[in-house]
């Protein structure tokens, strides 16, 4: 029997996330994976207890197992959040009287400053010469720029269509988490490159309303493909361990704040639901101010 046959509540929750909450496919898959891992553990350790009989001790056993496996507190907290949403939904459906998550305490996660690429190194990448006859190389270069110029997420970039590019108003409409829309401006030079790319794409593959970026086989880019290309590009200018599209999102936010952007404006550009999520980037700004102070103040 499949996991959803043993626990039909899982399928109900997945359908709720997909059709009522309208979460992205990527987000729904993340929720599903977390809950399936949890339920498989319950099946193996506690003989597949019914959802209504799952106790807080069962959940604590799973969390202890995750910790023994070396999972970081941040990842464990995400799984706790998933389970809270799952059991809360079952309560709303009347399938549970009380959530077993009520007494579960999330472990404290280490606060990490977001890693980013220095401005000088980003300028090196943005002014690098590329082979204009190599379609994939040209695509990867534009993808790099879009990440840095807009702070867009990987999932948002993958799904970006030509219809979302507003040439007249020099902006892009991004569909973010929870299908929330936000508008991000695009500057002249990059917009011109993007227009030329789309024109060439239409000439080479035919004109159609589709994804902005495609590979040389006219197929939409895949997350793993984009991740690897960005990792390779960033590897040319930095030795930091983490080299990913999300680092460029961090870089976008950090560079804006370092150059005087308003925190609330950066929040809107990033699509954050709360200011607290954006404030993590101010730590980097403070560190820069300290460095300027030490270098400039005669008594520092």
Query: Which residues are annotated as catalytic?
Result: 153, 177, 246, 249, 272, 281
- 3-state per-residue secondary structure call for the chain: CCHHHHCHHHHHHHHHHHHHCCCCHHHHHHHHHHHHHHHHHHHHHHCCCCHHHCCHHHHHHHHHHHHHCCCCHHHHHHHHHHHHHHHHHHHHCCCCCCCCCCCCCCCCCCCCCCCCCCHHHHHHHHCCCCCCCCHHHHHHHHHHHHHHHHCCCHHHHHHCEHHHEECCCCEEEEECHHHCEEEEECCHHHHHHHHHHHHHHHHHHCCCCCECCECCCCCECCHHHHHHHHHHHHCCCCCCCCCCHHHHHHHHHHHHHHCCCCHHHHHHHHCCCCHHHHHCCHHHHHHHHHHHHHHHCCCC
């Amino acid at each position: 029997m499949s996991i959803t046959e043993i626990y039909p509540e899982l399928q109900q929750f997945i359908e709720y996330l997909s059709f009522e909450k309208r979460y992205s496919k990527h987000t729904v898959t993340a929720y599903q994976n977390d809950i399936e891992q949890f339920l498989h553990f319950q099946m193996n350790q506690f003989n597949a207890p019914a959802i209504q009989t799952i106790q807080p001790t069962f959940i604590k056993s799973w969390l202890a197992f995750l910790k023994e496996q070396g999972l970081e507190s941040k990842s464990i907290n995400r799984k706790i959040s998933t389970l809270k949403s799952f059991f809360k939904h079952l309560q709303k459906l009347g399938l549970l009287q009380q959530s077993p998550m009520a007494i579960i305490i999330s472990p404290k996660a280490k606060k990490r400053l977001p890693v980013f690429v220095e401005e000088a190194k980003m300028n090196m990448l943005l002014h690098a010469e590329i082979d204009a006859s190599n379609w994939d190389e040209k695509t990867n270069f534009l993808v790099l720029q879009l990440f840095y110029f807009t702070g867009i997420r990987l999932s948002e970039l993958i799904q970006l269509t030509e219809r979302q590019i507003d040439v007249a108003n020099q902006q892009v409409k991004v569909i973010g988490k929870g299908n929330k829309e936000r508008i991000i401006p695009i500057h002249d030079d990059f917009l011109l490159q993007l227009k030329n790319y789309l024109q060439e794409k239409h000439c080479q593959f035919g004109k159609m309303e589709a994804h902005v970026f495609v590979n040389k086989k006219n197929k939409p880019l895949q997350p793993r493909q984009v991740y690897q290309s960005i990792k390779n590009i960033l590897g040319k200018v930095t030795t930091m361990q983490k080299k990913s599209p999300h680092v460029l999102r961090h870089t976008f936010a950090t560079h804006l704040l370092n150059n005087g952007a308003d925190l609330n404006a950066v929040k809107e550009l990033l699509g954050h639901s709360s200011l607290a999520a954006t404030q993590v980037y101010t730590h980097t700004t403070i560190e820069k101010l300290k460095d300027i102070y030490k270098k400039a103040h005669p008594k520092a």
